[in-house]
């Protein structure tokens, strides 16, 4: 899957958000923590780990929106470090959804501690595995990303 268009859109959104801020402090670490939180919110909507509950997962559209929130932050982190990828790196990660979430937390941590193109690509591979497990296609992801990107502008404009 091509990522160039998404990086361009993310660059524009990040610039818009940055220009809306009074204090221009470095927010790279905040974005890293935001990615952890988005991953946890995504896991929560899938309810994959809730062995104590019989309630099913949220609707696919809700899960997809959480998923693309993470994609925003992955793109944004990459832009800050000059790691814009032209395409989504391929790779296989074994395990059920719970295992994939646990492995992905590790890959976020590893990237945040060791900022290399390899650890960055590994993040994408993990998110690719999650998308595969959730049954999201490239088109689903692109469409949901574009919609959320636009909503993020609206939120900024309404003083969110």
Ligand X SMILES: O=c1ccn([C@H]2C[C@H](O)[C@@H](COP(=O)(O)OP(=O)(O)OP(=O)(O)O)O2)c(=O)[nH]1
Q: Which residues bind ligand X (CB under 6 A)?
A: 13-14, 17, 69, 72-73, 76, 148, 152
Burial degree of 77 (CB within 10 A; 0-12, 13-18, 19+): buried
Minimum distance from residue 117 beta carbon to ligand X (Å) = 21
Q: Which of 108, 96, 88 is nearest to 38 (CA)?
A: 108
In angstroms, the Cα distances linking 38 to 54, 61, 87, 90 are 24, 15, 22, 22
Instruction: Tell me which residue has tokens 């032209």.
Output: 86
Rounded to a whole number of angstroms, the minimum distance from the CB of residue 34 to ligand X is 7
Nearer to ligand X, 126 or 148 (CB): 148
Contact yes or no for 145/71 (Cβ under 8 A): yes
Q: Which residue is at the shortest CB distance from ligand X?
A: 72
Q: Which is nearer to ligand X, 33 or 91 (CB)?
A: 33
Quote the least distance from Cβ 115 to ligand X, whole Å: 17
Q: Min. distance of Cβ 96 from ligand X in angstroms?
A: 25
Which of 78/93 has CB closer to ligand X? 78
């Amino acid at each position: 899957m091509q990522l160039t268009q998404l990086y361009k859109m993310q660059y524009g959104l990040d610039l818009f958000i940055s220009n809306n801020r009074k204090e221009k402090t470095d927010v790279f670490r905040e974005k890293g923590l935001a990615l952890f939180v988005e991953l946890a919110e995504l896991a929560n909507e899938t309810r994959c780990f809730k062995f104590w509950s019989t309630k099913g997962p949220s609707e696919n559209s809700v899960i997809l929106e959480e998923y693309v929130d993470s994609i925003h932050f992955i793109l944004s982190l990459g832009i800050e470090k000059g790691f814009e990828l032209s395409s989504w790196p391929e790779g296989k990660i074994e395990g059920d959804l719970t295992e994939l979430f646990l492995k992905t937390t590790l890959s976020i941590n590893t990237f945040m501690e060791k900022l290399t193109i390899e650890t960055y690509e590994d993040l994408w591979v993990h998110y690719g595995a999650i998308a595969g497990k959730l049954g999201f296609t490239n088109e689903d992801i692109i469409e949901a990303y574009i919609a959320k990107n636009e909503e993020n502008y609206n939120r900024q404009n309404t003083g969110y």
